[in-house]
């Protein structure tokens, strides 16, 4: 029997409705308080009590306007609209925690790399090395238009741009300041040794940068790199860059195949397969007994919005499902949206009724419902059968869903030896990989440590 410990992130967003839509209407839900610092600091303290590895905060730039060609449903149901900046939350949450990591989503298409490098270095300093970056290139035409473009770039072309973006960041984070550049010697009036701080001169297809990184080396230099692309081009990118990859699985066999592809991508890039941790998104509804958990699930369903879930999914695929009758087959259309989302529609046996059924809880993640023992059985089974490293736990009723998991499931997993009983030392990277605070030598970023040109 495996003794592999389960890694766990809380999956959230700086908004009201994230994955399981409609549950903001539940009388015990507090997600409409997302604009207050207390909402986030209390959540961070709760997650650290449960020894969560991280709080992963998703984000979008743009709106979900594919369904009915409008934002009416997203506005009524708060489907990731309104949505606030995730990076600004970290300082407050880091101040009330010591170990919880923060995975932050930022769309590189609309973030100049020079300034983004400074913001992430600043957060890495302030959190003492507890930040990660979820690398996304975007998939919404509404975002491109809002940012002054006629449309977003083609899918694979966005990854070409992302590869160069990472090169620029590695030069700034890894190559601009040497490890011993900061001497902090008041007597000699020298804070940093000029000969050990180097100008980055990058002239590429997408980016031109000529300047020094504005920050001294932070604990991790490069934040932990997260990514979620499942297309062939996305996997190529993940193999080169990612340290943690998020996938969306529906069956154990299909998830095993996805995990194997991710690990193969790392090996193809000259890294070890285990250099990438793989997380799957899922939802858990747990109570002291199976009967109580199923009653809670039934209660939640009364407040969830299946239509909101389908409206969200419409923008993920680029297909307006509202144009179809309930039992009319949905036609697959190739688009520049999320390729893994559209792939499931290619067999043309999906209908709007089937999508609504799938989104009964407002989202389409696998939902585990049961007692602490039953949920633990399922989590361990998924991990052992698929090769996963952990899970992104989506919220239902906030903060109830996380409190229930921490009070009921965590002790059961600990009793079985499958979940940590204390945090490890060091930065987020050290906690996740039990190695150094900096990227390992076999990562592509190492190419930019010696030369910054």
Tell me whether residue 46 is in a domain: yes
Tell me whether residue 225 is in a domain: yes
Question: Given a cut of 70, is residue 345 above it in pLDDT?
Answer: no
Q: Quick one: average pLDDT of 327-347?
A: 66
- Give the per-residue pLDDT at 151: 84
Tell me whether residue 316 is in a domain: no
Q: b/e per residue, 147-159, with b = 16+ CB within 10 A?
A: eeeeebbebeebb
3-class DSSP assignment, residue 280: strand
Number of domains in the chain: 1
Q: For residue range 274-316, list pLDDT tens digits in order.
A: 999 999 999 999 999 999 999 999 999 999 999 999 999 998 8
Select from 333, 334, 323, 327 the least CA-distant residue to 350. Answer: 327
Q: How many angstroms separate the CA atoms of 311 and 290, rounded? A: 31
Residues whose CB falls within 8 Å of the CB of residue 269, separated by 6 or more in sequence, listed in order: 239, 240, 444
Joined tokens for residue 155: 């899918």
Q: Whole domain around residue 380: which residue ranges?
A: 7-283+368-448
Tell me whether residue 360 is in a domain: no
- Give the per-residue pLDDT at 335: 61
Tell me whether residue 363 is in a domain: no
CATH of the domain at 199: 3.20.20.30
Tell me whether residue 361 is in a domain: no
3-class DSSP assignment, residue 147: coil
Are residues 432 and 7 in contact, defined by beta-carbon separation less than 8 angstroms?
A: yes
Q: For residue range 192-214, list pLDDT tens digits in order.
A: 999 999 999 999 999 999 999 99
Tell me whether residue 232 is in a domain: yes
Q: How many angstroms separate the CA atoms of 195 and 337, rounded? A: 46
Tell me whether residue 398 is in a domain: yes
- Give the per-residue pLDDT at 452: 44
Q: Quick one: average pLDDT of 174-203?
A: 97
Select from 270, 300, 306 the least CA-distant residue to 283. Answer: 300
Joined tokens for residue 254: 């299909």
- Give the per-residue pLDDT at 366: 95
Tell me the pLDDT band of 407, cut-offs 50, 70 and 90: very high
Q: What is the pTM of this model?
A: 0.94
Q: Quick one: average pLDDT of 156-164?
A: 95
Q: Quick one: average pLDDT of 246-252?
A: 93
DSSP assigned state of 241: H
Are residues 226 and 244 in contact, defined by beta-carbon separation less than 8 angstroms?
A: yes
What does residue 419 show for φ and ψ, rounded to 5 degrees?
Answer: -150, 140
Question: Given a cut of 80, is residue 346 above it in pLDDT?
Answer: no
Question: Given a cut of 50, is residue 453 above it in pLDDT?
Answer: no
């Amino acid at each position: 029997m495996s003794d592999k410990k389960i890694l766990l992130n809380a999956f959230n967003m700086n908004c009201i409705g994230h994955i399981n839509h409609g549950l903001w209407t539940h009388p015990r839900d507090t997600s409409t308080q997302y604009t207050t610092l207390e909402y986030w600091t209390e959540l961070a303290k709760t997650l650290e009590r449960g020894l969560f590895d991280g709080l992963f905060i998703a984000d979008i730039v743009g709106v979900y306007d594919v369904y009915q060609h409008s934002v009416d449903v997203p506005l009524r149901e708060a489907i990731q609209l309104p949505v606030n900046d995730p990076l600004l939350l970290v300082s407050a949450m880091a101040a009330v925690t010591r170990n919880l990591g923060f995975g932050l989503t930022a769309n590189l298409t609309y973030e100049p790399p020079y300034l983004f490098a400074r913001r992430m270095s600043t957060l890495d300093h302030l959190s003492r090395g507890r930040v990660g970056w979820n690398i996304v290139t975007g998939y919404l035409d509404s975002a491109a238009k809002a940012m002054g473009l006629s449309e977003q770039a083609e899918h694979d072309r966005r990854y070409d741009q992302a590869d160069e973006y990472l090169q620029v960041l590695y030069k700034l984070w890894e190559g601009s300041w040497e490890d011993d550049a900061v001497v902090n010697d008041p007597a000699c009036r020298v804070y940093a040794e000029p000969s050990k701080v180097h100008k980055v001169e990058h002239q590429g297809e997408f980016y031109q940068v000529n300047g020094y990184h504005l920050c001294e080396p932070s604990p991790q230099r490069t934040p932990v790199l997260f990514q979620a692309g499942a297309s062939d081009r996305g996997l190529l990118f993940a193999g080169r860059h990612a340290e943690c990859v998020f996938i969306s699985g529906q069956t154990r066999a299909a998830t095993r195949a996805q995990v194997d592809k991710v690990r193969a991508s790392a090996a193809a890039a000259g890294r070890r397969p285990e250099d990438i941790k793989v997380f799957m998104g899922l939802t858990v509804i747990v109570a002291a007994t199976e009967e109580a958990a199923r009653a809670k699930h039934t209660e939640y369903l009364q407040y969830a919005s299946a239509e909101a879930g389908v409206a969200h999914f419409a923008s993920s695929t680029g297909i307006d499902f509202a144009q179809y009758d309930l039992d009319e087959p949905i036609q697959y259309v190739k688009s520049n949206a999320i390729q893994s989302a559209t792939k499931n529609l290619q067999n043309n046996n999906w209908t709007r009724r089937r999508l609504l059924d799938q989104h009964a809880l407002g989202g389409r993640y696998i939902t585990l419902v049961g007692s602490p023992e039953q949920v633990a059985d399922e989590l361990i089974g998924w991990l052992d059968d698929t090769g996963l490293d952990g899970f992104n736990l989506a919220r239902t009723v906030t903060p109830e869903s996380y409190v229930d998991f921490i009070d009921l499931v965590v002790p059961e997993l600990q009793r079985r030896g499958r979940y940590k009983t204390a945090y490890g030392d060091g930065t987020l990277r050290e906690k996740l990989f039990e190695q150094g605070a900096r990227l390992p030598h076999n990562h592509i970023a190492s190419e930019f440590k010696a030369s910054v040109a």
